[in-house]
Chain A
Amino acid sequence: MSQINYRTINIDALDPESSANFPMESLLPATLPQAASASDAANAAAQVRQMLRGGDPEGALRTVLDTAPLGGDDRAKEVHLATVIDVLQGIRQGEMTRILEGVCSGDGGAERADCLMKYLYKGMSSAAPGSGTQTPKKPVSPQDTGFSQIQARNLGEGGGGQQMSVLLSWHERLVEIAGTGSIVRVMTDRRTV
């Protein structure tokens, strides 16, 4: 008789009726854009940084939110997150409200507001500074990538804290414009950034 450790059997995998086997992809709408790759994200990043240098922060924010890789792989999403955070850090405190009002109005403004809210929460969850014992919650690739090095630098004195304070001031202003409904939609929406 072979010995089987029954305690380690994943019984949910054997039960098609189990709620653990809920098909998450059934929550993705049919309108989800085509999967974007990391190189697409890098191209968008170059374009956005160009606009930022050219003195058009509103256009840069608008473009970076419109090109969000909702259907992309994890790598594309990481690259795009870094671009969004660069844009947010590149805009001065005094200009935030004016730029947000511009970006969150007009055609597709509500979607851009919801998209920015997703990036703010993603930014806050991945760039959590301070305690070194805290393990990153998001799946990271086994080999060190360029991006994770940038993150490691952020974990140093002040860097992460500064990024957090930028994200928090954006959050405050975005809630004034888009309301609590936008926060709720970050939690329900399966089109993650």
Chain B
Amino acid sequence: MAAPQVHHLFHAPIADHSFSSDKKTLAVARENNVELYQQSGNKFALSDELKGHEKTVTSVDIAPNSGRIVTCSQDVHSIDRNAYVWEQTPTGWKPTLVLLRINRAATFVRWSPSEQKFAVGSGARVIAVCYFEEENDWWISKHLKKPIRSTITTLAWHPNSVLLAAGSTDSHARVFSSFIKGIDTRPEPSAWGERLPFNTICGEYLNDTAGWIQGVAFSPSGNALAFTGHDSSVTVVYPSAPEQPPRAMLNIATRLLPLNSLIWNGETEIIAAGHDCEPFRFHGDENGWQLAGSLENKAGEARGAREESALNMFRQMDLKGQAQADTKLKSTHQNTVHTIRAHEEANGVVSSFSTSGVDGRVVIWNA
């Protein structure tokens, strides 16, 4: 297995990252701006900055086909300035206004697979589902409101672009319909529901151990939902039929620190990462799930703990009063991982994935 590709971009936390479909452009949220990096050789070099937000940018997403970038931030001064859609023009990136109508920070944004809509989670206890209005040349939104009781921390789209999963600090993971007339085509009936008018609640799930939900994801088929939260567990839900209790709801309580983000790799594998600074693999199906282990290459540990020369050891002891600086973690990431995304995938099978976190690194792993 090849070693992961590490891109140490800067010494500041990365709230979110996104690659373009050709994997040559990388967008990262850094403080109040979004930075765009272009691949040159094996490295990524800063090429452009998207400036416009006045507060911390919380999330960024590049639409794979149209190349549009959507960003959202904690700006709360005006109700139409906390999300922008950026389009590339000959004179540079141009932002388009989004009427979110929220009076709290926007926390998370993702394009729907159809790229006709995107969803913004917020601290105002609503999810704004946004779509483009030609007449006025701006993005307008409809709110998913009930029964959200607290801040939305994470979102994930179903492959049909109508169902939307959301995790919240009220410890519930929910599945909503975000069907918008004139934009969406009627989805095929599934285990989640048959008729799906806007704001239909197709599922509402709570762990035994509760905990803020930090990451949600639909399986490639869309017929299962996984979520992870601040209780260090991963829960997988298999719905049975509309308005029925799920066929199976499996909780994997781990001995790890909490996991922040997860992706599916096929229908029987989940990869998740978080406060332990390294990605972990889970295997299972409807009959049970278990933690399979870390994806960290353990050969790397030996390199980290290599023998220092005697001269260097005494020099370190003289300078710092210790033989070896123990401030370096043995993992590739040196701090919490915030985001994990599929990098290269075909038919739901992920061949590589990318992670970013508090340490300012973006790492591309082989799944």
A27 touches B230 (CB 8 A): no
How long is the Cα–Cα vector from A181 to B258 in the complex, in angstroms?
7
How long is the Cα–Cα vector from A181 to B149 in the complex, in angstroms?
26
The verdict on B61 contacting chain A, using a C-beta distance below 8 Å, is: no
A interface residues (Cβ-Cβ under 8 A, vs B): 19, 22-23, 26-27, 29-31, 110, 114, 178-182, 184-185, 188-191
CB-CB under 8 A from A31, the residues of chain B are 208
CB-CB under 8 A from B172, the residues of chain A are 26
How long is the Cα–Cα vector from A29 to B206 in the complex, in angstroms?
6
How long is the Cα–Cα vector from A33 to B255 in the complex, in angstroms?
25
CB-CB under 8 A from A180, the residues of chain B are 232, 255-257
Apart from A27-B210, A191-B208, what are 14 other A-B pairs with CB-CB below 8 Å? A22-B149, A23-B149, A27-B170, A181-B256, A184-B211, A184-B231, A184-B257, A185-B209, A185-B232, A188-B209, A188-B230, A188-B231, A189-B210, A189-B231
Sample (25) of A-B pairs whose CB atoms are under 8 Å apart: A22-B150, A26-B149, A26-B170, A29-B206, A29-B207, A110-B253, A114-B209, A180-B255, A180-B256, A181-B231, A181-B232, A181-B253, A181-B254, A181-B256, A182-B255, A184-B257, A185-B209, A185-B231, A185-B233, A188-B211, A188-B212, A188-B229, A189-B208, A189-B210, A191-B209
What 5 A-B pairs come out closest when comparing CB atoms?
Answer: A179-B255, A181-B232, A188-B211, A188-B231, A181-B255
The proximity string for B residues 209-232 relative to A, scoring 1 for CB distances below 8 Å and 0 otherwise, is: 111100000000000000001111
CB-CB under 8 A from B74, the residues of chain A are none
> Given A22-B150, A184-B258, A188-B230, A27–B171 Cβ distance below 8 Å?
yes
Q: From residue A69, how far is it (CB to closest CB) to chain B in Å? A: 16
CB-CB under 8 A from A23, the residues of chain B are 149
How long is the Cα–Cα vector from A185 to B230 in the complex, in angstroms?
8
Looking across the interface, which residue of chain A has its beta carbon closest to that of B255?
A179
Looking across the interface, which residue of chain B has its beta carbon closest to that of A189?
B209
How long is the Cα–Cα vector from A138 to B96 in the complex, in angstroms?
53
Contact check: which of B210, B254, B255, B257 meets A188 at CB < 8 Å?
B210
> Given A19-B150, A110-B253, A189-B210, A181–B170 Cβ distance below 8 Å?
no
Q: From residue A26, how far is it (CB to closest CB) to chain B in Å? A: 6
B contact face: mostly helix, strand, loop, or mixed:
loop
B233 touches A181 (CB 8 A): yes
Looking across the interface, which residue of chain A has its beta carbon closest to that of B229?
A188
CB-CB under 8 A from A188, the residues of chain B are 171, 209-212, 229-231
CB-CB under 8 A from A178, the residues of chain B are 255
156-205 of chain B: CB within 8 A of chain A: 170-172
How long is the Cα–Cα vector from A9 to B208 in the complex, in angstroms?
36
Q: From residue B246, how far is it (CB to closest CB) to chain A in Å? A: 12
How long is the Cα–Cα vector from A81 to B207 in the complex, in angstroms?
25
CB-CB under 8 A from B212, the residues of chain A are 188
How long is the Cα–Cα vector from A188 to B265 in the complex, in angstroms?
28
How long is the Cα–Cα vector from A191 to B257 in the complex, in angstroms?
20
How long is the Cα–Cα vector from A43 to B208 in the complex, in angstroms?
26
How long is the Cα–Cα vector from A26 to B171 in the complex, in angstroms?
9
How long is the Cα–Cα vector from A160 to B94 in the complex, in angstroms?
67
How long is the Cα–Cα vector from A34 to B166 in the complex, in angstroms?
31
Q: From residue A100, how far is it (CB to closest CB) to chain B in Å? A: 14
The proximity string for B residues 61-92 relative to A, scoring 1 for CB distances below 8 Å and 0 otherwise, is: 00000000000000000000000000000000
Looking across the interface, which residue of chain B has its beta carbon closest to that of A190?
B210
CB-CB under 8 A from A30, the residues of chain B are 206
Q: From residue B249, how far is it (CB to closest CB) to chain A in Å? A: 10
How long is the Cα–Cα vector from A19 to B148 in the complex, in angstroms?
12
How long is the Cα–Cα vector from A190 to B256 in the complex, in angstroms?
20
CB-CB under 8 A from B230, the residues of chain A are 184, 188
> Given A26-B170, A185-B232, A188-B229, A114–B253 Cβ distance below 8 Å?
yes
CB-CB under 8 A from A191, the residues of chain B are 208-209
How long is the Cα–Cα vector from A153 to B233 in the complex, in angstroms?
40
How long is the Cα–Cα vector from A29 to B256 in the complex, in angstroms?
22
116-159 of chain B: CB within 8 A of chain A: 149-150
CB-CB under 8 A from B258, the residues of chain A are 181, 184
CB-CB under 8 A from B229, the residues of chain A are 188
CB-CB under 8 A from A181, the residues of chain B are 231-233, 253-258
A22 touches B257 (CB 8 A): no
